[in-house]
Structure 1
């Protein structure tokens, strides 16, 4: 940069410090905006203070993919007076290569070294923190730096982007003395950062690469259609998708497609968004070897009518309803009269497409008196939803609950008096038929045969965990009795219903109390996958209420496992280990080196387990 331009920039900086933004005339917008942010953050102009941490991952995927690029860049600039640095996404320097020992010693004096944080809110305008704030390549030369101690340097930084996820993984920076800066540095660092991004893509496993390739092909073929790619840690959307669908709608498409394609390779169906827009989705599940990489979805708006969809459960005004229920728990249990009653907080209301679809299908099946098998994960509310929708349409009806795991013999004889005299619509629900023994399946088979042959106004349904469908358990012999199968979506596919569900659960477990969730606690609940669904959510909220019985529930009041995002079901030993790691991190205020020492494991082992258990705290 010419000396005259450096002088003009120095004068503009002085005017900015005295008069504010209006004094920064002629300063590039990205620099002026950074000066403003730096001042608002309270950065000390003369003596900025950065923080140091030894807890940087020098063997991370970013460092591994950057290594060959840094090596080549170091060779190409071996005779140039500059320093090359790589930082993580938190602006912490993780590697530094000195082509010039003199420049390196000068940078040591301003703490630009591995472990130190160069975030803009700490060090002011610079070629690392400002890149992270602006999300683009930035050159900061001499007096363009906000703090005085950096003004003898010129630094050019470029973001390192993972092409698959679109996430900014770190910053590649080249620093030199201000008088030695050249525009070529801007081109050089951008090109090298792009090469690191390409290595991040190539580092993906075969399944992830297959997902990315399929997404690109679909996007090329469907230039005017919305195209998405979804995986546990990946969301991609083309420009059309981002223009057509708001973020909440994109989430609804993702959850509904994920739900539909849990067991299907291809799908072509319509869904109704919360706004009332009807969307047709065509999805393909991407499988590479034994791995499922994710799904690619093409979405098209069929009708764009605003307005909320109907409540498919028909349960409006049902909040004060109590369910008459006959319980048959064992072989010789006498039929109880219809006066077994319990308070009930309704669950049918909801607007997520998968839930709306399930309620609609289930209500149609019950109205047609079709024997129905209700599938879903543990804790999704299969039994409660069947009973609620039945009694919403038949307020005077009766429901019989039979626990398949406790069933032995003689139940059909217990039912004879009821079936012979009943005039009310009656629903018999056999719960968890996948837990029935071989003898229990024989009894249930006899029961279903009797119910199918009776002339009484009786129909039947059964619930089963969908994870049992791939097993060889005895209940498969019963499937011939059913005409309709309805799958209830898991809680992780109902993000837009979470606030309503939490309110209902709190209403049930803490009636009359003034209890609410803080925004951070709600975000934590939203991020967690809830493998046991609403049952586990209820347990978590009960735990939180023991800590804070009234008022605003905080993030730290929730069980420690809520801070994780593990993609698999953990064993009891793994759960204990995960909780011990979370406790150690809390005790050491997030210092992973100290936590590893407290746990008696190496730092590399701790990092591996953090990834395994999805611990983000």
Structure 2
């Protein structure tokens, strides 16, 4: 007891010196506490009367609460006769549950607003066993004068982060508070152990596929002590210590995107990729499947060389300068419309730094140079046709490209027949969307490819197809024997490194000469959205935003409402209308979900369910 009193007296003196002299006054104070005092002071926390921040927008039936309840029950039983209070907060430091083993301590804590709904973030309440744990990312005990504010001096609080083992994210804080005189170091051990138990429940709450991913990651990490190990899924991003040491966050994201792209249709992969810095690395990946569910992928990465050269790097030079694409012969009304669009000043797309994009450009350029019949795969709107035409005309500025829309082909004469005559120019025939061709259209395209394959004229051909059609039994499969090379164009969601450049180029294309840009918040919204129709949908969204703000800085609210979601679900018109109404209500009410639910005439639980269903992030 004398040692404890002596320590508390030293801490009280150090706090007084800190408040008078600044950081040098905190000499001898543990680093975690000293850093917290500095942050609290810089945040402007009032040491006498910190403000009250209450929100009724807390989820008391969340997954965290569900997984914590059995642990809280057991902890409450084990400490039933002790003068303490057990609390659980969410990841924003807001209390969601409180269990009082001592009603007397509970009444005292009520006076300092330590109750469900109140915010105990460090920037609000200063150094404490909730907010400081969030800032430090580790278990912390704050006893008596170690608190920054005077109103908390009578208490001791010990908090530990509740970490989801699968994502590595802090989901909440478990805190045990008592009077400063009654605190024991054993509380620290007790709280850390209980927080780990909640984290274990979070893992068990996941489905079998996610557990399989986590277990595979742990096994790979145990075997690869010096290699970088990652685990990726829709909402999972795990990296071992070696991965975090070898790669910065941008490089880790590049590894994730490239591995996910490569493994979309393969169970295992071994590839060499170039990072933006020029470093070469080798990645080996395994897709984790549990039953009929794909859980995610586990990737091992290791450095190959630090040389900056790589065969996938785009060749520098003037070939990607702005240009009007050369004349294009057409077949069908839809293709004529497309050609009219391509005759506008063209903003080039072939440059970029994401590994998947560099690789696709390199493979497609090599195929065109070799005049090999090429099928170009990718999602709708990913830029398949535009990239083929651009790369061809970069190598053949005086060449001719012929665009053919497969869905418009039928038997009989068409202006396509003009292509089959003699030509002296290097010519590329691009058949768009062969997966949309009818049986009759496939027969017509088959005749065309057969003729082009046997002609002595300087003509070659390529075709684009949606990769989602490969598993179908559509007629176009009969045409695949004509091709020698297949190149897959990555979707926009795998090109995070290039997103700012792509947005800039699309704005340049649809608003030439205007001073227009995205605000940082709007750019973050664009980066979060999955863009199922890729660049074509991004162009639509930016066009929509320009109608609201034709010049200047485009704001988050100028973008279409669907940009505020992450849902992969295809919505009906009624669902889309409901989603837009919810987003509008949240914006109207400043993000207050309770007020938005009242405005919409639905219960709070219904609103939370729909937010999850629609993937609304607003």
CA contact (8 A) 1:313 1:360 kept: no
Instruction: Quote the offset at 1:376 in angstroms.
Output: 0.4
Aligned position for 1:576: 577
Aligned position for 2:15: 13
CA contact (8 A) 2:427 2:458 kept: yes
- The CA deviation string for residues 547-600 of structure 1, in whole angstroms up to 9 with x for no partner, is 222222222222222222223343433322221211111112111122222223
Asked if 1:181 is matched to 2:220, the reply is: no
Task: Pick which of 595-604 and 387-396 moved more.
Answer: 595-604
Query: In structure 2, do the counterparts of structure 1 residues 132 and 420 end up closer, same or farther at CA, with 3 Å as the change threshold?
Result: same
Task: Pick which of 509-518 and 528-537 moved more.
Answer: 509-518
Instruction: Quote the offset at 1:203 in angstroms.
Output: 1.2
Instruction: Quote the offset at 1:414 in angstroms.
Output: 3.8
Partner Cα distance (2:415, 2:159) in 1: 78
For structure 1, the residue ranges without an aligned partner over 5 or more in a row are none
Task: Pick which of 96-105 and 214-223 moved more.
Answer: 214-223
Partner Cα distance (2:257, 2:318) in 1: 25
CA contact (8 A) 1:313 1:348 kept: no
CA contact (8 A) 1:164 1:236 kept: yes
CA contact (8 A) 2:385 2:430 kept: yes
CA contact (8 A) 1:314 1:392 kept: no
SS state of the match for residue 175, structure 1? Answer: strand
CA contact (8 A) 1:330 1:408 kept: no
Aligned position for 2:558: 557
Partner Cα distance (1:532, 1:436) in 2: 20
Partner Cα distance (2:312, 2:524) in 1: 28
Instruction: Quote the offset at 1:417 in angstroms.
Output: 4.3
Partner Cα distance (2:606, 2:289) in 1: 30
Instruction: Quote the offset at 1:346 in angstroms.
Output: 1.0
Partner Cα distance (2:488, 2:37) in 1: 55
SS state of the match for residue 50, structure 1? Answer: coil
Query: In structure 2, do the counterparts of structure 1 residues 96 and 453 end up closer, same or farther at CA, with 3 Å as the change threshold?
Result: same
CA contact (8 A) 2:98 2:115 kept: yes
Instruction: Quote the offset at 1:196 in angstroms.
Output: 0.8
- The CA deviation string for residues 223-263 of structure 1, in whole angstroms up to 9 with x for no partner, is 22211111111111112212222221111111111111111
Instruction: Quote the offset at 1:330 in angstroms.
Output: 2.7
Please list, as runs of the form range in 1=range in 2, the aligned pairs for 1:245-260 lying within 5 A after superposition. 245-260=247-262
Partner Cα distance (1:331, 1:515) in 2: 33
CA contact (8 A) 1:315 1:349 kept: no
Please list, as runs of the form range in 1=range in 2, the aligned pairs for 1:371-520 lying within 5 A after superposition. 371-411=373-413, 414-520=415-521
Partner Cα distance (2:105, 2:418) in 1: 94
Query: In structure 2, do the counterparts of structure 1 residues 331 and 244 end up closer, same or farther at CA, with 3 Å as the change threshold?
Result: closer
CA contact (8 A) 1:372 1:485 kept: yes
Please list, as runs of the form range in 1=range in 2, the aligned pairs for 1:253-268 lying within 5 A after superposition. 253-268=255-270
CA contact (8 A) 2:330 2:416 kept: no
For structure 2, the residue ranges without an aligned partner over 5 or more in a row are none
SS state of the match for residue 365, structure 2? Answer: helix
Aligned position for 1:277: 279
Please list, as runs of the form range in 1=range in 2, the aligned pairs for 1:277-316 lying within 5 A after superposition. 277-306=279-308, 311-312=313-314, 316=318
Aligned residues: 614
Instruction: Quote the offset at 1:281 in angstroms.
Output: 1.2
SS state of the match for residue 502, structure 2? Answer: helix
Aligned position for 1:361: 363
Partner Cα distance (1:215, 1:154) in 2: 38
CA contact (8 A) 1:314 1:389 kept: no
Partner Cα distance (1:308, 1:257) in 2: 18
SS state of the match for residue 421, structure 1? Answer: coil
Identify which of 115, 118, 127 aligns with 1:116: 118
Aligned position for 1:91: 93
Partner Cα distance (2:317, 2:530) in 1: 27
Instruction: Quote the offset at 1:189 in angstroms.
Output: 0.7
Q: CA RMSD in A?
A: 2.2
SS state of the match for residue 116, structure 1? Answer: coil
SS state of the match for residue 320, structure 2? Answer: coil
- The CA deviation string for residues 192-243 of structure 1, in whole angstroms up to 9 with x for no partner, is 1111111111111101011111111111222222111111111111122122
Instruction: Quote the offset at 1:308 in angstroms.
Output: 7.9
CA contact (8 A) 1:315 1:346 kept: no
Aligned position for 2:64: 62
Task: Pick which of 444-453 and 233-242 moved more.
Answer: 444-453
Partner Cα distance (1:418, 1:567) in 2: 42
Partner Cα distance (1:26, 1:330) in 2: 80
Query: In structure 2, do the counterparts of structure 1 residues 163 and 331 end up closer, same or farther at CA, with 3 Å as the change threshold?
Result: closer
Aligned position for 1:598: 599
- TM-score, normalized by length of structure 1? 0.95
Identify which of 325, 329, 332 aligns with 2:331: 329
Aligned position for 1:612: 613
- The CA deviation string for residues 104-146 of structure 1, in whole angstroms up to 9 with x for no partner, is 1111111111111111111111111111111111111111111
Instruction: Quote the offset at 1:315 in angstroms.
Output: 6.7
Instruction: Quote the offset at 1:45 in angstroms.
Output: 1.6
